[in-house]
Structure 1
Amino acid sequence: MTSDAPDPRQRLAAVTLDEESIGRGNPDQEHERAIAIYDILESNRFAVANHDGGPYALRLGLVENKLAFQIATESGEPVMTHLLSLTPFRGVIRDYDMICDSYFKAIRTASPTQIEAIDMGRRGVHNEASDLLRQRLEGKVEIDHNTARRLFTLIFALHWKG
């Protein structure tokens, strides 16, 4: 008999931000970051290639304009650090920022049909970004689509100007 239950070791148990390299945000930014982290921890699939010692603790920081994924076991034993260039994300972050801005403006004045159309576009760009994140982590860390979406939300919240 096989089980479709997720492997409890293939998940994130903690996500923290390196305040020295990322810095604190304004209250709105901190709120968005906290929500993104909560959503990630609520449900995720996170498996480090060639390692089966999870659950994992992820610390995100910036190193020379790259996003550092510092991964350890839940007990704190270092597993790996992966530096992820943010350059491939510049366009999609810019697009997502513009469409989110349009969405928030539309909520005040647009018809439900217009709001729905903008939201569909927002979800499409979000999916594109999560696919890009999964591609960029390929061979290092395996994440499912929903975890990639939630991690992109956090990456976006790190860039959000508020």
Structure 2
Amino acid sequence: MGAPDPGKARLIDVELDETIGRAPPDIEHERAVAIFDLVEENSFCPLGDEAGGPYKLRISLVEKRLVLRIARESDEEVVTHILSLSPFKRIVRDYFMICESYYQAIRSASPSQIEAIDMGRRGLHNEGSQLLQDRLKGKIELDFDTARRLFTLVCVLHWRGS
């Protein structure tokens, strides 16, 4: 049996289950945008899945763990992966702090100050994306851009005030 079709190694749907909880409208909007961006462009394939995708991803939070349930387009379950969120705690906290600084700087700082803060923000986002990609190594094959989009969604999930 050959390798899965790379055109099918992708997500076609991402759903947040009820464990995520509702958030204020502006955060719900950010979640929707993060999901849209992830589904719009991604490369995603559970390792060892010979049948291939496309895939649906259902995300939940259980006891400070990120649960990724992967299914086929037909809803046939493929695999579930559980990741501790502890390794992401510092990066997400620092990312939110620098984002707050960035939004404040936009109002009053010079363009060079804004650019410096934005470079730091992007650097932390890249660090979190790399950590996510490393944590999924051997479980899910995804490119760095997909890891960035998925990390954005992880951040938005934390944004609910937890």
**Shorter-normalised TM range:** over 0.9
Runs of 4+ in 1 over 4 A off after TM superposition: none
For residues 1-162 of structure 1, the aligned pairs below 5 Å read: 7-19=6-18, 21-52=19-50, 53-161=52-160
Identity %: 60
Aligned equivalents of 2:73 and 2:136: distance in 1? 20
- Name the CA distance, whole Å, in 2 between partners of 1:64 and 1:151: 20
The separation in 2 between residues aligned to 1:80 and 1:140, in whole angstroms, is 9
Query: Which secondary structure does the structure 1 equivalent of 2:127 belong to?
Result: helix
TM (norm. structure 2) is 0.94
Report the Cα offset of residue 136 of structure 1: 0.3
Aligned residue for 1:50, secondary structure, equals coil
Counterpart CA distance in 2 for 1:118 and 1:147 is 24
Please state whether the residue corresponding to 1:75 is helix, strand or coil.
coil
Deviations 1:1-38 (A, max 9, x none): xxxxx81111000000012x110111011000000001
Give the superposed CA RMSD: 1.1
1:45-101 CA deviation, whole Å, 9 max, x = no partner?
Answer: 001000032010000001221000000001100001100100000000011000000
2:141 aligned counterpart, secondary structure = strand
Segments of 5+ residues of structure 1 without an aligned counterpart are 1-5
**Matched pairs, number:** 156
Q: Secondary structure at the match of 2:87?
A: helix
